[in-house]
Amino acid sequence: MSLAACCIALTAPAAALAAVLTAQVPLQPATEQKASPRGGEMAQGEPKSPSTPVTPPAPPTAQVAPTSASPAASTTVTAKGEDEKDDKTGFHIGIDLGNSVTTPTFLYADRVDSDYVGSDLEMSASYAFFVKDIKLSASAMGSISYEYTLPDNESARRFSWTDLRFSLGAPGLYKNAATGISFSPSLSLTAPITMESWSATTITNLGVSIKAGRSFGPVGVSLAINGSKGFHVSQVKAARNSDARDAQGRLLQVRRPDDPFAEVMGTNTSGSIGGSIRLSYQATEALTFSMSYSLAKSFKYTIGVDQFSPKGTRSDGSPIAVGTGTSDRSTFNISAGYDLTDRFGISLGLATAQAPLDPRGRVRFPFFALGNAALGVTSVNLGLSAAF
């Protein structure tokens, strides 16, 4: 999912929410997962465990709202964005405390596997500077999270963290004089520091995105396209063979002697492509409403089909075993944010992350989980944020 001058999550203040115009869309497989306000993607581009909440990435920078004593104050409210070229440069820090609860927590008390109440702390540092007449923004971002409900992930850990993400972007690199549309490209890469990335043998995940945006008075509109490419030592997530033995001399792994892996847990994601649209409305200098929708498609590494692959077919006649696996994912978010001060803000939002089609191939309602509500793909999010 991003370039940033200073990262504020989806639960960022209203002005920061408008800054999502340069955010990168998350690129992840479309497995059913719980949703949360956490911005950020699995850095290595791998699917998280079903108990790990996932939602759209956080806006990369915070925009400070003009006050009545500021020279920028005006009686006319216009949509805020980070694409406008200005002279603001230097070092910035963003901190966001997000809190979320999935809808099954209070709608389906018997579905303990889908309930989730948790918090996450996201931190970012960015440096904005000019190279000749081009404004650039370099940033680094990471987060930690804690689940209050009983975790149902594979490791049963309440505490988790994300891979580090580094990005370089050029907000408002080009603005068309005739249409008023500005274009903002960005590049990103990740540093694998999580156990999930180590298990997947991730080296890094490279991403590229370009966003086009325009303001119509208090209304802001943006479209973005992006892609990513994962790099791994192995194409599969697997436990490698080991000669480790217990005190009685027995092997700790059950495996075939000629197999380099003791257990295969899935195929790594080779790459992703996606797109998004976002609308925002600047009601006042302090209050902003925003809505976004994104689609992403992920591609697994090509393993191939041989004589040992399953020969069965699905109900539509397509084979069960395919050489290259794919998955789709849609993400919807609607939120309202309010600037408490020039540096602190609060926001409330609703997020839904799910596969766009159900198992029968029917289009799912994108704004809220209906038939699959018990899976925990919709969450209510409350956040506090600070920008320095």
Asked if the structure places residue 9 within a domain, the reply is no
| pLDDT at 6 (0 to 100) | 34
Q: Are the beta carbons of 330 and 354 closer than 8 angstroms?
A: yes
| pLDDT at 77 (0 to 100) | 59
To the question of pTM greater than 0.85 for the whole model, the response is no
Rounded distance between C-alpha atoms, residue 2 and residue 165, angstroms: 9
Rounded distance between C-alpha atoms, residue 136 and residue 148, angstroms: 39
Show the domain range for 94: 14-230+272-299+330-387
What's the domain count of the chain? 1
Helix (H) or strand (E) holding 199: helix 195-199
Nearest CA to 203 among 165, 167, 232, 238? 232
| pLDDT at 249 (0 to 100) | 82
Asked if the structure places residue 25 within a domain, the reply is yes
Q: CATH no. for residue 68? A: 2.40.160.40
| pLDDT at 280 (0 to 100) | 97
| pLDDT at 142 (0 to 100) | 97
Rounded distance between C-alpha atoms, residue 341 and residue 113, angstroms: 39
| pLDDT at 377 (0 to 100) | 87
Asked if the structure places residue 96 within a domain, the reply is yes
Phi, psi of 215 (to 5 degrees): -110, 140
Asked if the structure places residue 243 within a domain, the reply is no
Rounded distance between C-alpha atoms, residue 290 and residue 351, angstroms: 12
Asked if the structure places residue 317 within a domain, the reply is no
Cα 230–chain centre separation: 15
Asked if the structure places residue 6 within a domain, the reply is no
Asked if the structure places residue 277 within a domain, the reply is yes
Asked if the structure places residue 42 within a domain, the reply is yes
pLDDT tens track, the chain, 388 positions: 333 333 333 333 334 333 333 333 333 333 344 444 333 333 333 333 333 344 434 433 333 333 333 333 344 555 665 454 445 789 999 999 999 998 888 887 676 677 889 999 999 999 999 998 899 999 999 999 999 988 877 777 899 999 999 999 999 999 999 999 999 999 999 999 998 898 889 999 999 999 999 999 999 999 999 999 999 998 888 777 777 788 888 877 776 767 777 777 788 999 999 999 999 999 999 999 999 999 999 999 987 777 777 788 877 777 777 777 888 999 999 999 999 999 999 999 999 999 998 878 888 888 888 777 777 789 999 999 999 9
| pLDDT at 349 (0 to 100) | 96
For 365, residues 6+ apart whose C-beta sits below 8 A from its C-beta are none
